Each structure stands twice: as structure tokens, then as C-alpha cells.
Amino acid sequence: MSSFIIISGCSGGGKSTLIDELALRGHATVPEPGRRVVREQQASGGSALPWADTRAFVDRIVAMAKADHANAAANAGWTFFDRGLIDALSALSTLTGAPLSRESLAAYPFRRQVFLAPPWPEIYETDAERKHSLAEAEIEYRRLAELYPALGYEIILLPKTSVAARADFVERTLQT
């Protein structure tokens, strides 16, 4: 069973905050590729941004997510991915219409349990890196909630609770 664990779901649903808490608890973590690409592009004046050149942005997050997966091989214990490769490939599939299959993911194993952050309007906010609306984030969430089971993953919904309680929930779930 893979020690690579995906935390996915709705934008603005508290994934990155949870990842930060898991890192504080000593777990290996991988930050969200999309936010890293946005920061990189904004700092360099690049145009590979979801609101400027969506295809270049998606290509960049796919490449970054593949590199993240390879780099994480050296980690001991669980490694938590904030979104990661499957979310990136899902975005590419949505953009191009090319299907995403289990076979295309065989070289990139992840644990079959995926933690999904549901829409949480009370904490959702836009910022310099997240410009899309809650309605757009909810559409993305529904797409991912359908995709993961279709690829053979088991969805575990994250409870809407404090970050510490969410991290406790994740750790307890993985120990069973």
C-alpha cells in the first residue's frame, strides 16, 4: 500500500491549512502545484496562469506534480500531497478532452484512500493566487468527487471542523 496520500477537493476548503498542520506534526508534505506555479509566474512576469494561458498553466502543474511524485520517493513514512498529480491530470483531461485512465496513472502510485475537502462557504475566500468564484470551485469539487472513484480510489470526506481535529481524523483513518 502506497504511503503517498492525496488531500484534494474544493478550492478554499482548507486543504493547504491541513497540509501545514500535518507538516507541523512531522509528516512529509508536498504543497499544491497550482499555487506554486502561480507564485512562480507572478514573480517572473510569466503568463502560464489559469486566467491568462490555461494550457501553459496546466502543462506546468502536470510537470511539477510528476517531479513532486518522483522527489517524494525518498521520504520515510506518509507523504501528504496537496492536490498533486491526479488533480493536475484531471485538469489537463478537462481542458483537452483526453481521457484519464487507471493505466495512465500506473507509474504514479498513491494510497487508494483520498481525503476530499468538501465545499465550505464559511471559510472560502479569493486571493492573489485564487481568483475563481466559490461556484467555480464547487464545479471543480464535483468533477473530482466523480473522478477519483472512477479511477478506483475511495473518497473519505474531511469533516468541517478545526484544523487540529481534521489532522487527528486523517491520522486516525490512516492507522486503521
Query: What pLDDT, on the 0 to 100 scale, is given for residue 123?
Result: 60
Q: Which three cell numbers stand for residue 34?
A: 497550482
Query: What pLDDT, on the 0 to 100 scale, is given for residue 114?
Result: 96
- Residue 104 is classified by DSSP as G
Query: What pLDDT, on the 0 to 100 scale, is given for residue 152?
Result: 93
pLDDT tens string for the chain (176 positions)?
Answer: 579 999 998 777 888 899 999 999 999 999 999 889 998 999 999 998 888 898 898 899 999 999 999 999 989 899 999 998 898 888 888 888 888 888 888 889 999 999 999 876 566 566 656 556 767 778 888 989 999 999 999 999 999 999 999 999 999 999 87
Q: Which of 137, 16, 147, 28 is nearest to 83 (CA)?
A: 16
Question: Rounded to 5 degrees, what angle do the CA atoms 104, 18, 38 make?
Answer: 60
Order across the sheet with 28-30: list the strands: 28-30, 79-82, 4-9, 113-117, 154-157
Query: What pLDDT, on the 0 to 100 scale, is given for residue 138?
Result: 84
Taking the mean position of all CA atoms in its chain, how far away is CA 97?
Answer: 20
Query: What pLDDT, on the 0 to 100 scale, is given for residue 29?
Result: 97
Dist CA 88 CA 84 (whole Å): 6
Query: What pLDDT, on the 0 to 100 scale, is given for residue 22?
Result: 97
Q: What is the dihedral of CA 118, 119, 123, 128, to 10 degrees?
A: 110
Query: What pLDDT, on the 0 to 100 scale, is given for residue 100?
Result: 83
Q: Which three cell numbers stand for residue 30?
A: 508536498
Give the chain's domains with CATH numbers: 4-175 (3.40.50.300)
Query: What pLDDT, on the 0 to 100 scale, is given for residue 13?
Result: 80
